[in-house]
Structure 1
Amino acid sequence: MTAVPAVPAVTAVPAAPSLPSRPLRFGVVLISEDCSGAEWTAKCRRAETLGYDVIAVPDHLNLLSPFPTAVLAAEATEKAVIGTYVLNAAFHHPVLLARDVTTTGALIGGRLELGLGTGYVRSEFAALGLPDDPASRVRRLRRLVTGLDTLLEHKGPPLMIGGHGDRVLRLAARRAEIVSFTGAPYRPEYGRTALVGADELLRRVEFVRAEAGPRAPRIELNVLSKATVLTRDRRAGVETVRRYAPDLPPERLLELPTLFVGTPAQIAEQVLRHRETHGLTYFTVMETAMEDFGAVIELLR
């Protein structure tokens, strides 16, 4: 097999025809484990300097609490939106979450983006004494979304709902301003989640558009990238991320919106292609990829 040639320049690609043209947005999920206040603010400032539009805080029991870290992230930056990516619905009561959302939104000047999901770490559900079967997790998310909608009276921050299955994506299509695609369902044969192919992710996008109906043109589509590998040899580079999708051959791994492999210019072309083919305009990476993907953002501004 021959290596994929380098792409000499980034060329503009039209947006998906079924959606209005949107500017690209880029987010990064920062990890607060064992993080001091000074370390956290330094990371947030670096993310904004690199051009990230959204600084996101996750919600896991081994990390610092998301809302205090969101407030500190806003204090450390000037313009970046501060998001939760994503809150585990099992951790939050609608009334208490509405208070946290209202307080945080007021303190950071309306820069909050609220991301919700079902959660997926089994040990966290065990720590709370809650069942973690898919139906229970989706019910908790649905109750939280309904409760927030009533309590906030449609005056809350933009709502993102992330997931992969029909029930979560149907809820997202009907209630959220932003739909986030994880592209990684639980795979019993691996005992963990694994990435699906680009064709299956496109079917998930089409499912959301169909469920959204007249709302579809107003919904922003986000995707969470698992890894970014800067390399001139894409075939060799993609082997380093094979663990995320063990059953996909190299050529299909290189098509994924959930993995980025290549030179900054090649990855920038990939981002534009996914905007054209999937309608994705909001790309989120993990902190481990923050510096490398920053070189891609620079080309796309």
Structure 2
Amino acid sequence: MKFGINLCTLGEYADPRRVVELALVAEHAGWEGLFVWDHLGFVWGAPAADPWVTLAAVAQATSRLTIGTAVTPLARRRPQVVAQSVSSLDLLSGGRVVFGAGLGGVPAEFSAFGDVDDARVRAERLDESLEVVAALWSGERVDHHGRHLTVDGVTLAPVPVQRPRVPIWIGGESAPARRRARRWDGWIVGGDDTEGRMTVTPEQMATRIHGLRPPTEAYDVALTGVSQEGDTDLARRYADAGVTWWLESIHGLRGSPAQLLERIGAGPPKGA
């Protein structure tokens, strides 16, 4: 099991400088990844950081952390721009990027700007956009004429460091999200609530993971959660269930920035 941070970049963490400070502490303390939210929180009254600017700053400040989004609502973004941004970030970081994608759980972040907020349409756009992004990362000429997107003979350059592509992890716990996750490289699951309680047991995770992908294939399952310093038994039980990444939930409801920085500085619950 690897250990990362899942950072809610709203409120006090909407300032990328604070995220960089946290990332430096995390890398020094032995955490292996930093994943940030991708929300237009200002739509509903919460300051929010741009994920790509923030992750670029983290990439420059660190040398080992895997970085990525958990998760990007791809249906409200232009896939060609996302493909270029992620490719540039992968180059900047030396191949340390994971692209997390999902449906998006706040319809107002679509409708406030005139975008379609219907879940079925968003799902269609998500699936089609994932295909376009992956095709552009290949470095080959892309010709795509789908229901929602068109690409006329475009070849992306430069391409990401990672080949054949940047890993794509799918977020979401619904049956459609799990089916989508099976087609890509990983699955991100929310395992805790805003009160800091685990809502998914290791036994439940083992059941959900079973059959997701053949065990011989490289595949990641990332679980967000809350741990205390030295809680190695907790990590071990989820690792035994098939979880490959523990993502420690860091958000303003859990404590003050000083308290959360102290928790990160204490290091991950290794021992799994």
Aligned to 1:150: 135
Is it true that 1:285 corresponds to 2:248 in the alignment? yes
1:104 to 79, 89, 95: 89
2:107 to 115, 122, 132: 122
State the AA in 1 paired with 2:244: T
State the alpha-carbon separation in 2 of the partners of residues 294 and 39 from structure 1: 14
Aligned to 2:210: 206
SS class of match (1:297): coil
1:271 to 215, 235, 238: 235
Higher percent of residues as helix: 1
Mark the CA change 1:120 to 1:195 in structure 2 (over 3 Å): closer, same or farther. farther
SS class of match (2:217): helix
Aligned to 1:297: 268
Is it true that 1:165 corresponds to 2:171 in the alignment? no
State the alpha-carbon separation in 2 of the partners of residues 38 and 70 from structure 1: 11
State the alpha-carbon separation in 1 of the partners of residues 244 and 55 from structure 2: 23
Aligned to 2:33: 54
Q: What is the TM-score of this pair, normalised by structure 1?
A: 0.67
State the AA in 2 paired with 1:170: R
Higher mean C-alpha deviation, range 114-123 or range 287-296? 287-296
SS class of match (1:43): helix
Superposed CA offset, 1:37-61 (max 9, x none): 5433212211212221111121011
1:180 to 179, 185, 188: 188
Mark the CA change 1:149 to 1:67 in structure 2 (over 3 Å): closer, same or farther. same
Uncovered stretches (5+) of structure 2, i.e. residues with no partner: 42-47, 139-162, 193-197, 255-259
Deviation at 1:73, TM superposition (A): 0.4
Superposed CA offset, 1:11-41 (max 9, x none): xxxxxxxxxxxxx211112344454454332
Uncovered stretches (5+) of structure 1, i.e. residues with no partner: 1-23, 185-193, 231-263
Is residue 57–residue 83 contact of structure 1 (8 Å, CA) maintained in 2? yes
SS class of match (1:59): coil
Deviation at 1:175, TM superposition (A): 1.9
State the alpha-carbon separation in 1 of the partners of residues 118 and 201 from structure 2: 25
Is it true that 1:72 corresponds to 2:57 in the alignment? yes
State the alpha-carbon separation in 2 of the partners of residues 168 and 100 from structure 1: 24
Deviation at 1:75, TM superposition (A): 1.1
SS class of match (1:114): strand
SS class of match (1:113): strand
Is it true that 1:41 corresponds to 2:20 in the alignment? yes
State the alpha-carbon separation in 1 of the partners of residues 83 and 176 from structure 2: 23
Is residue 102–residue 156 contact of structure 1 (8 Å, CA) maintained in 2? no
Identity of aligned residues (%): 25
Superposed CA offset, 1:135-179 (max 9, x none): 233222211211112111163312111111111111111222x22
Aligned to 1:188: none
State the AA in 2 paired with 1:285: E
Q: What is the TM-score of this pair, normalised by structure 2?
A: 0.73
Is residue 110–residue 117 contact of structure 2 (8 Å, CA) maintained in 1? yes
SS class of match (2:87): helix
State the alpha-carbon separation in 2 of the partners of residues 39 and 131 from structure 1: 33
Is residue 60–residue 92 contact of structure 2 (8 Å, CA) maintained in 1? no
Deviation at 1:182, TM superposition (A): 2.5
Q: How many residues are paired up?
A: 228
State the alpha-carbon separation in 2 of the partners of residues 73 and 205 from structure 1: 31
Superposed CA offset, 1:248-269 (max 9, x none): xxxxxxxxxxxxxxxx44x310
Is residue 117–residue 141 contact of structure 1 (8 Å, CA) maintained in 2? yes
Superposed CA offset, 1:47-84 (max 9, x none): 21222111112101132211111110011112111111
Superposed CA offset, 1:196-221 (max 9, x none): 5555443321252xxx34x7631111
Is residue 26–residue 282 contact of structure 1 (8 Å, CA) maintained in 2? yes
State the alpha-carbon separation in 2 of the partners of residues 144 and 218 from structure 1: 23
State the alpha-carbon separation in 2 of the partners of residues 294 and 136 from structure 1: 42
State the alpha-carbon separation in 2 of the partners of residues 54 and 46 from structure 1: 12
